[in-house]
């Protein structure tokens, strides 16, 4: 769907994948519920984005979202990982200390790709069908 702002007309969708440090399976039900809540609030309230779909496996999160052209993806991802890591480590410190003895949560790397009208349905299906049990 085409969107407008003051200086542009755009249709930009992205697929972001963030992976936990060392791929530890820390995204249990409780952590995942809080991560989804923080993710939506952060992307939609703090950044001018619209979350289309979000889902997790035990060691990574997939987010399909729209963003205007003014959003610098590297800054958005850095902010996303910093804020979610800080909040989750604070709220689940006892649980996460079993996996991380340093203040880690996310791996430094991430995946981001543009999603076109042609690939939207396939990516949406892929994000929706993440299998939490196998981590795939």
Amino acid 134: pLDDT: 47
pLDDT score at 6: 83
- Cβ-based neighbours of 22, under 8 Å, separated by 6 or more: 99, 104, 107
For the chain, the structural domain boundaries read 3-128
Set 99, 100, 104, 126: catalytic member? 126
- Cα 81 from Cα 39, distance rounded (Å): 10
Over residues 111-123, the mean pLDDT reads 95
Contact status, residue 30 vs residue 94, Cβ threshold 8 Å: no
Segment 24-37 shows an average pLDDT of 97
64 touches 8 (CB < 8 A): no
CATH 3.30.70.1290 is the classification of domain 3-128: yes
| Predicted local distance difference test score (pLDDT) of residue 99 | 95
Q: Clarify whether 10 is annotated catalytic.
A: no
Question: Residues 6 or more apart from 107 whose CB is under 8 A from it?
Answer: 18, 19, 20, 21, 22, 23
**Which tens digits make up the pLDDT trace of 9-21?**
999 999 999 999 9
Angle at alpha carbon of residue 39, lines to 35 and 43, rounded to 5°: 170
Type and span of the H or E element at 42: none
């Amino acid at each position: 769907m085409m969107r407008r702002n003051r200086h542009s007309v755009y249709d930009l969708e992205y697929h972001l994948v963030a992976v936990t440090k060392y791929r530890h399976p820390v995204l249990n039900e409780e952590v995942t519920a809080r991560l989804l809540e923080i993710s939506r609030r952060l992307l939609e309230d703090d950044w001018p984005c619209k979350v289309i779909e979000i889902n997790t496996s035990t060691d990574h999160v997939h987010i399909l979202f729209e963003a205007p052209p003014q959003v610098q993806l590297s800054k958005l991802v850095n902010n996303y990982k910093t804020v979610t890591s800080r909040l989750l480590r604070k709220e689940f410190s006892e649980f996460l200390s079993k996996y991380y003895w340093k203040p880690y949560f996310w791996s430094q790397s991430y995946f981001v790709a543009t999603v076109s009208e042609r690939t939207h349905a396939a990516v949406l299906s892929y994000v929706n069908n993440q299998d939490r049990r196998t981590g795939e």
